[in-house]
């Protein structure tokens, strides 16, 4: 209203129902007055589309996601490789013994079966994508690698290697998983023949259909929030019909 010549002007307080409507995304009535216009300006600005600057963090987060999918390791533990490296240096004798004992193909096979000492297992995990050593957390290794997921190629390589060397690794959890994925031990060779080399085409050529390759090994230390809203927020005005007559206090 511009009738009042004296600044500051009187701005009547909006009623609760009008505020709720604006926050639900309904534009103010043209006769609603300056207060509604001000709040509407605030709402539209606060919910504007993402700017280029706001998108700057996308690469970091998507890399974290890809890393978590690739390694099956929680993305929140991004320092894990460094910790693994220091552990590795501390255990270099054990690693050297392992490296000396097996050729690379054999190492890969052992690694995929999850049978290396933890530091070496982590090294193999980081370098060839074998299952992680899991740093002594409550062990998910009883589950073994997901033979329907990204570990399939490695498991198949290990399976072939084990067959060539007459190795008895076929009793391991990993190979039982592979057999399960293949629909039985006799079908492993046929199953493996269909597994493409990872990284040749597409991001996740052997992506599992319904779940990530490896579940996070720990149950949530801080827990999902207990107060999870279940309503429908956001700029979609689905809550209240425009013609609501009453005040909402």
Rg (C-alpha) for the chain, rounded Å, is 29
Q: Are 124 and 116 within 8 A, CB to CB?
A: yes
- How many residues line the site for other proteins (CB under 8 A)? 71
- According to CB under 8 A, which one of 136, 138, 209, 245 is a site residue for other proteins? 209
Site for other proteins in 146-175 (CB under 8 A): 149
When asked if residue 220 is in the footprint of other proteins (CB under 8 A), the reply is yes
Q: Quick one: 189 or 203, whose CB is closer to other proteins?
A: 203
Cα torsion 70, 213, 226, 249: sign: positive
Q: Quick one: 65 or 194, whose CB is closer to other proteins?
A: 65
151: tokens are 């570990």
Q: Are 59 and 77 within 8 A, CB to CB?
A: no
Three-state SS for 152?
Answer: helix
Exposure of 203 in the CB half-sphere (CA atoms within 13 A): 8
Picking from 145, 169, 173, the residue whose alpha carbon sits closest to that of residue 159 is 169
- According to CB under 8 A, which one of 5, 100, 136, 224 is a site residue for other proteins? 224
Q: Quick one: 233 or 241, whose CB is closer to other proteins?
A: 233
State the greatest distance between any 2 C-alpha atoms of the chain, in Å, as a whole number: 97
For residues 239 and 103, what is the distance between their CA atoms, to the nearest angstrom? Answer: 65
Site for other proteins in 7-46 (CB under 8 A): 7-11, 13-14, 16, 19, 23, 25, 34-39, 41-46
Q: Are 86 and 60 within 8 A, CB to CB?
A: no
> Minimum Å distance from CB 40 to other proteins?
9
Binding segment toward other proteins, per CB under 8 A, in 92-100, 127-135, 136-144, 227-235: 227-235
Exposure of 42 in the CB half-sphere (CA atoms within 13 A): 10
Site for other proteins in 40-79 (CB under 8 A): 41-51, 54-58, 60-62, 64-66, 68-69, 74-76, 78
For residues 202 and 72, what is the distance between their CA atoms, to the nearest angstrom? Answer: 18
> Minimum Å distance from CB 33 to other proteins?
9
Q: Quick one: 11 or 190, whose CB is closer to other proteins?
A: 11
| x-or-dash string of contact with other proteins, 131-150, rule CB under 8 A | ------------------x-
For residues 35 and 13, what is the distance between their CA atoms, to the nearest angstrom? Answer: 7
Q: Quick one: 194 or 211, whose CB is closer to other proteins?
A: 211
Binding segment toward other proteins, per CB under 8 A, in 88-96, 133-141, 158-166, 210-218: 210-218
Q: Quick one: 44 or 86, whose CB is closer to other proteins?
A: 44
Site for other proteins in 79-108 (CB under 8 A): none
């Amino acid at each position: 209203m511009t009738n009042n010549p004296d600044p500051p002007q009187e701005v009547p307080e909006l009623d609760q129902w009008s505020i709720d409507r604006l926050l639900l995304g309904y534009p103010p009535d043209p006769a609603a007055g300056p207060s509604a216009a001000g709040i509407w300006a605030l709402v539209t600005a606060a919910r504007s589309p993402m700017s280029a600057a706001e998108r700057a963090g996308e690469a970091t987060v998507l890399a974290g996601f890809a890393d978590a999918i690739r390694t099956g390791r929680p993305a929140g533990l991004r320092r894990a490789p460094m910790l693994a490296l220091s552990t590795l240096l501390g255990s270099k004798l054990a690693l050297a013994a392992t490296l000396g004992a097996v050729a690379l193909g054999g190492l890969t096979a052992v690694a995929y079966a999850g049978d290396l000492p933890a530091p070496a297992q982590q090294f193999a995990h980081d370098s060839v994508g074998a299952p992680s050593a899991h740093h002594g957390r409550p062990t998910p290794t009883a589950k073994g690698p997901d033979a329907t997921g990204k570990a399939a190629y490695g498991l198949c390589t290990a399976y072939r290697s084990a067959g060539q060397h007459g190795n008895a690794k076929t009793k391991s959890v990993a190979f039982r998983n592979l057999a399960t994925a293949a629909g039985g031990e006799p079908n492993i060779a046929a199953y493996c023949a269909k597994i493409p080399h990872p990284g040749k085409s597409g991001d996740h050529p052997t992506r599992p259909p319904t779940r990530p390759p490896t579940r996070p090994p720990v149950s949530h230390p801080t827990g999902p929030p207990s107060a999870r809203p279940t309503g429908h927020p956001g700029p979609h005005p689905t809550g209240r019909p425009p013609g609501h007559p009453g005040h909402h206090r």
